[in-house]
Structure 1
Amino acid sequence: MHRPQSREDALAVLVADLAGDAQLVDDVVHAARCESPGIARMPRSESRRHVAALLAAGFAAFTGDGEPDFGPAARFGAERATLGVPVAALLSGLYAGRSRILEIAIERGRAAGIATDVMLQALLKLDRYGTRLERHIVGGYRAAERELSRDQRDARIGLLRRLLLGEDDGTATDPGRFGLRAGGTYHCLVSDAADPARVRRLEQAVARCGGVAAPVAGLLAGLTPRLPSPPPATTALVVTTPAVPLERAPAAYALGVTALHAAAGEALTGVHDVVDLAGETALAAQPMLAGFLSRSLLGALDPGDEFHHDLAYTALAYLDAGQRLDRTAEALHLHPNTVRYRLRRLQELTGLGERLTVLDTVRWWWALRSWPAPPAGEHRRQFMS
């Protein structure tokens, strides 16, 4: 015979349920990004990574007896400072996320039948933890801010925002102060680096080349007359463009950002020239057209049918192999007859033909890379590693 669940047990079950709910992370991230434009400009994956770490530490603190670990909070604050997120935007997102957690906890507590006084005590404990969490986030932010202010970082941020975004608040620095000349040409650099140490290393590498780098709209960006050689070793993603005059820097920066997002979708890391990412960048710039192509050419395929995934996977490999049956079979470790059968079945379902022209190949390749359409906020399925 099971004993009745105590009030403490019911609360522990609720906390465990929240801690194991991946959707909670997405709800909190969504609330923070909706409330704070400064946070919304950050890569969503970075926001999600930090929120997941902070929630995990919070739930561990709620159920543990020792001193909570506020290290993730301090690192979170330091990274936001490193990427130039204003403290007001940081706090706005923090308050929104905190409110969302409280709302969800109350809703689920009521649904679980937890007594009001038990929920009240739990919410007070959660609120006290939230206050301490905020203090450590701001502390990490201020510490990083003091360190960064030693090398005229605000001046570099203002200069790049004017050169790359066209924003001018009247205080922007003369480009010549950092060695940029009106008649010179400069490579544009964009990175998703968020770790303070990595950001600093990239900034210093650009400075040694006579350029300037700083956070711009939530991403590290820079202009440099020459690229570091050899490229800096980094697990972050860095995209560079060929050298352009300063008046063309805004267009180069916009292209670099598009290429960065396209490369991130391919899970790339390290340094990449935008020229090498031309195909991915051009396709990523037209997501609506990708959807139209996928539905038009592959509408007969069922995303819930695993065999249809095999057909699409094989066809994509076939196009990547230059429409060579032998190379496709070798790449997929399949018998050529299996490849031939899958291609024939796909042809029967969709009309994919043989000996495609260059433009036909692009259309089918793009459609296959975009199928099936991913849920909102998620990357498409990666057919090829």
Structure 2
Amino acid sequence: MTPLLRRILDELAADDAVLDELVKVARSQSPEVARLPEAENRRHVQVLLSAALRATASPDGPAREDYTTAEALGADRAAQGVPLTDLLRGVQAGRTHAARVAVERARAAGVPDDVILETVLDADRYTGALEHHIVKGYHAAELQLSRTVRDARTQLLRTLLLAGDPPAPEELRQAGLRPGGRYHCVVSDVSDPAQARTLEQALLEFGGVYGLVEGRLTGLAARPPAGVTLTGDARLVVAPATALPALREVHGLCTAAARIAGPGCHDLTVLAGEIALTAQPLLGDLLTASLLPALDTANPFHRELAATALAYLDHGRRLRPTAEALHLHPNTVRYRLDRLAELTPLPLAENSDSRVLDTVRSWWALQHWLSRPVT
């Protein structure tokens, strides 16, 4: 391999934009893979891309540790309940796109076609070997899971919370659930199997059944998991106790809440407003266009004004608590609100006689506008 081609491939492996493209392609071609958190897809793509490029640069092909890593990735997907066909569809889509990008960059840099072809064939052979070890790891984990009680309980959870006929009463009893009981649906954003097992052990103290559903540790707790310890930035959403037949819809709400919640443990009902508003992105766009047309997302001052107004509404339209929360002088908060009032029709006065729904509209417009990417 020429030094020029080596440099091109190294730059490709380090390019976050390329990594984002590969993740997007893999998710678009495999709905089951797309159900996993995007960070988990990104970890998978990054590991395989780096391994394939290392193998291309080595006369011996992939190292043993790369095969071990590929097997571990396959095992993770089996534990997360991703069907093998969907897993391979995502892997192959990303593999094809990576080869296309590499060829385009090499040609643009003037690398001869015969050198490109030889490298692509080598890379294809190595990625095929890595793919074989992904399958090997998947099958090994699948076999192990099928022999465990955990797998049976996880499958029952998936049946209860996703599609399929409801489990028979005897199946519920075998899993430790009462057919007529009420349970707290619990959904986390923890997808790593090792971290999921740690959190599962903590949740088992509250009774119930837990497992990976749609790639996230999920469960039905017999008692509210108050005070459960979470590591890092993990988030956990807990619903009020619900009868088993209603749990599918509750699970959908908990999953939506987990996407928007911050780190920590959250009561589903506390996030009710955010969940309802997030479910209407088009209406949020229309509302923002109607109330905030004069604001520019690329203008730092405009973003400062909007963030201050949002904090002001979050603190009950009170200047001093808002100023304390933002570490500002109350006069600075008042100035920013006055400037925003000159640019928008938002009713932000302290003694405003606006209705509660007017405040909701203002809060929604500001929050939705601030969530937009800077353009």
The answer to whether the superposition gives a TM-score over 0.5 is yes
**Number of residues of Structure 1 aligned to a counterpart in Structure 2:** 367
Residues 294 and 372, structure 1, Cα contact 8 Å, conserved in 2: no
**Helix, strand or coil: the match of 1:84?**
coil
Q: CA deviation at 1:64?
A: 6.1
Q: CA deviation at 1:193?
A: 1.4
Q: Which residue identity does 2:90 align to in structure 1?
A: G
Residues 190 and 216, structure 2, Cα contact 8 Å, conserved in 1: yes
Structure 2 vs 1, CA of residues 319 and 65 (structure 1 numbering), >3 Å: closer, same or farther?
A: farther
Q: CA RMSD in A?
A: 2.7
Gaps of 5+ in 1: 1-6
- Is 1:12 paired with 2:6? yes
Q: Which residue identity does 2:93 align to in structure 1?
A: A
Compute the TM-score of the two structures, normalised by the length of structure 1. 0.85
Equivalent residue number for residue 311 of structure 1 = 305
Q: CA deviation at 1:323?
A: 1.7
Q: Which residue identity does 2:313 align to in structure 1?
A: L
Residues 162 and 172, structure 1, Cα contact 8 Å, conserved in 2: no
Residue of 324, 331, 334 corresponding to 2:325: 331
Equivalent residue number for residue 3 of structure 1 = none
Residue of 344, 349, 352 corresponding to 1:350: 344
Q: Following the alignment from structure 2 to structure 1, what is the Cα–Cα distance between the partners of residues 364 and 109?
A: 48
Q: Which residue identity does 1:197 align to in structure 2?
A: A
Residues 156 and 212, structure 1, Cα contact 8 Å, conserved in 2: yes
Q: Following the alignment from structure 1 to structure 2, what is the Cα–Cα distance between the partners of residues 21 and 366?
A: 35
Q: Following the alignment from structure 2 to structure 1, what is the Cα–Cα distance between the partners of residues 107 and 166?
A: 50
Q: CA deviation at 1:39?
A: 0.6
**Helix, strand or coil: the match of 2:210?**
strand
Trace 1:211-226 onto structure 2 (pairs within 5 A). 211-226=208-223
Gaps of 5+ in 2: none
**Helix, strand or coil: the match of 2:266?**
strand
- Is 1:285 paired with 2:279? yes
Q: Which residue identity does 1:123 align to in structure 2?
A: V
Residues 205 and 228, structure 1, Cα contact 8 Å, conserved in 2: no
Q: Following the alignment from structure 1 to structure 2, what is the Cα–Cα distance between the partners of residues 10 and 171?
A: 63
Q: CA deviation at 1:339?
A: 2.2
Q: Following the alignment from structure 1 to structure 2, what is the Cα–Cα distance between the partners of residues 172 and 221?
A: 21
Residue of 360, 364, 367 corresponding to 1:369: 367
Compute the TM-score of the two structures, normalised by the length of structure 2. 0.87
Q: CA deviation at 1:47?
A: 1.1
Structure 2 vs 1, CA of residues 317 and 207 (structure 1 numbering), >3 Å: closer, same or farther?
A: closer
Structure 2 vs 1, CA of residues 144 and 331 (structure 1 numbering), >3 Å: closer, same or farther?
A: same
Is 109-118 or 43-52 further displaced after alignment? Answer: 43-52
- Is 1:30 paired with 2:24? yes
Q: Which residue identity does 1:224 align to in structure 2?
A: A
Equivalent residue number for residue 192 of structure 1 = 189
Equivalent residue number for residue 148 of structure 2 = 151
Structure 2 vs 1, CA of residues 228 and 314 (structure 1 numbering), >3 Å: closer, same or farther?
A: closer
- Is 1:89 paired with 2:86? yes
Residue of 244, 252, 276 corresponding to 1:246: 244
Q: Which residue identity does 1:155 align to in structure 2?
A: A
Residues 79 and 194, structure 1, Cα contact 8 Å, conserved in 2: no
Q: Following the alignment from structure 2 to structure 1, what is the Cα–Cα distance between the partners of residues 11 and 5?
A: 10
Q: Following the alignment from structure 1 to structure 2, what is the Cα–Cα distance between the partners of residues 64 and 161?
A: 43
Residues 257 and 271, structure 2, Cα contact 8 Å, conserved in 1: yes
